[in-house]
A and B are shown apart, each in its own frame.
Chain A
Amino acid sequence: MPDSIPQKRHKSPIIPYRLRRRLAPYGFLSPFLLLFAVFLIYPLIRSILMAFTQSYGPQATVFVGLENFKFLFKDSQFWRAFVNTVYFAIGAVSIQLPLSLFLALILNQRIPGRNLLRFAFFVPYLVGPVFVGIIFTLFYTPRYGLFNQTIDFLFGFGLDTRWLTNEYLVMPAIIIAATWTIVGFYMIFFLAALQSIRKELLEAAEVDGAGTLRRLWHITLPGIKPVTVFILVTSTIGAFKLFELPYILLKQNSGPNDSALTIVMYLFQTGFESGDLGYASAIGWVLVAFVVAVSYAQIRLTRTFREDA
């Protein structure tokens, strides 16, 4: 590497060396900071202010004080969206996390073609939510769709199940589609964590006569805990932002009886389909509060467990 350092021509500097070195970081940061200020900081502050207005697009705005938040707390549609989102978050995380861990544990063994298998599970992650939605709308077609036909072929029932028009099955259908896309992604993290566990520890335990399950419980699982917490928090945050997948899957609707209305979908509908950017901001900030609270709680909770152990 050192011999690739370019030899610059020495010229007498116009700006003295020390000053140059002091100014340099600001120069490097300025394009980033400019964009950061304009497209993150300003909108953030503006959005707080907007939450206290009611508007019809950027042109007609009325200041309403805390009215938006008051309405939000009695707005049954918002609470419906909230419950749906929490349902999705809990359902998705509690399926995806163990499933990806299971896949990682198996694909960490020396089995033939494991790289190919890892790849197979990862590839859906590369498909954008819109495209996943497009593909899965057809899968879930009752009677003619692949999903029901596969279930019918394997278990002999469920050919006419209406996944997307039955209010109780919509969320499970979304969770299945979401799991399809994301499991391989989490699996990669688990695999990396598994590989970082020291082999000697496992071997020593085996010599001591610890069975597979005991080794899993006492060595492997504690070893991958930081990554587990990371995935737990990221996947929860991701789940709270659910929007595109159900939006496309349900033809830009919120599902029967609003059963697939998520918080972000509601935010989008109020802000950009009804034009009330103010109320949309209020929804957004309530979402922020929940996301922060839940991630904080998860991190705290996992810490307590460690102290117990």
Chain B
Amino acid sequence: MSLKHRIALIFATTLVLFAACLTLLPFLWLLCASVKSNDDLFMYSFLPHNGQAWWDVEWNRLTLFNFKRLFSEFGFHRYAINSIFVSSTQTCLVVLFSSMGGFALAKYRFRGIHLIVTAMLVSMVIPGEVLLGPTYELLYKFGWLDSYKALIIPGSVSVFAMFLYRQSMLSVPNDLLDAARVDGCSEFGIYAEIVMRACKPMTGAIVLMTFMASWNAFLWPQIVLQSRENYTLPIILAQMISLYWSEYGIVMAGTVISIFPVMILFFILQKEFVGGLLSGAVKS
């Protein structure tokens, strides 16, 4: 590599490094804000310090009080449990339904397959926002409004996840399935024991995608949820920014807790997630 190249690369790297720091700055700020008292929130950009010297941090001014109050006074655990319940149930259902559907489309030929695939492709083009009104009306007729069902069940149909499963199941050799059939394995047994086992990475990717979408969902829960005890985390936090504007540290603490689970899950499923995303891109 020539000197000119090296210099260019070092320059670019420094730039990217700087950009990375800027990208992470909000997280640092968020963490700092969640352990500051109200009076210090805008007094100091990051941590409370002594006069002009930002490194001379006054550690004793930091407090976990915000986190404590979040749970003791605001009953934050209730919303956290709601979110956990809704997101994890929805994730399980999406994996189950879309993998079964994907299996049928990948490994069988049957009447109506083309019609079904076409309908699904068309539905993928249409933004879900069009469906908000009619779905609201439908759930009203079912008597499901303001319930977990209203969040979980319409959310458990994912055409995208089904196509991803179909995609990865196509690569499971048919000979393997036929061999199992000869051995007397049931069709469901083939699906569960052979195909799903082979598609574990895809399951990982879909778990993360679904969980993330469900955990962060705002528009739909905002429309269907009525009572406070059913709120999920984005709903309660969106309200807290107006209700507790004078105690913003608490809102910041709530935000820290809310973005945490998805990050942990991402750490565990990084590889599968990226793989899954890319196979989605290749298909399109």
Contacts and interface: CB of A to CB of B under 8 A. Distances in A.
Interface string A1-34: 1101111111000000000111011111101110
A4 B123 contact: no
A277 B98 CA distance: 30
Nearest to B20: A120
B129 A267 contact: yes
B133 A130 contact: no
Contacts of A251: 241-242
Contacts, number: 266
Interface string A193-214: 0000000000000000000100
Contacts of B116: 29, 33
B104 A25 contact: yes
B237 A131 contact: yes
B180 interface: yes
B46 to A, nearest CB: 9
Interface stretch (A62-70, A76-84, A159-167, A280-288): A280-288
A106 interface: yes
Contact of A2 (B13, B22, B140, B179): B179
B219 interface: yes
B19 interface: yes
A221 interface: no
Given A40-B123, A117-B16, A188-B277, A128 B248 contact: no
A109 interface: yes
Which of B25, B133, B189, B259 has the most chain A CB within a 10 Å cutoff? B133
B159 A36 contact: yes
A285 B132 CA distance: 12
B185 A38 contact: no
A71 interface: no
A287 B130 contact: yes
Contacts of A21: 108, 187
A58 B137 contact: yes
A135 B20 contact: no
A165 B226 CA distance: 31
The prevalent SS among residues of B at the interface is helix
Interface stretch (A89-97, A144-152, A301-309): A144-152
Interface size class of B (residues with CB under 8 A): 35 or more
A126 B255 CA distance: 13
A131 B216 contact: yes
Nearest to A10: B184
Given A35-B157, A180-B26, 10 more contacts: A7-B184, A33-B101, A39-B138, A44-B123, A111-B9, A127-B259, A128-B212, A146-B29, A271-B133, A284-B129
11 contacts: A4-B193, A24-B188, A27-B187, A35-B97, A36-B119, A111-B9, A128-B258, A131-B255, A188-B277, A240-B127, A252-B238
Interface of A: 1-2, 4-10, 20-22, 24-29, 31-33, 35-36, 38-44, 46-47, 50, 58, 103, 106-107, 109, 111, 117, 120-121, 123-124, 126-131, 133-139, 141, 144, 146, 149-150, 180, 184, 188-189, 192, 212, 227, 230, 233-234, 237, 240-241, 243-244, 248, 251-252, 264, 267-268, 271-272, 277, 280-281, 284-285, 287-288, 291-292, 295
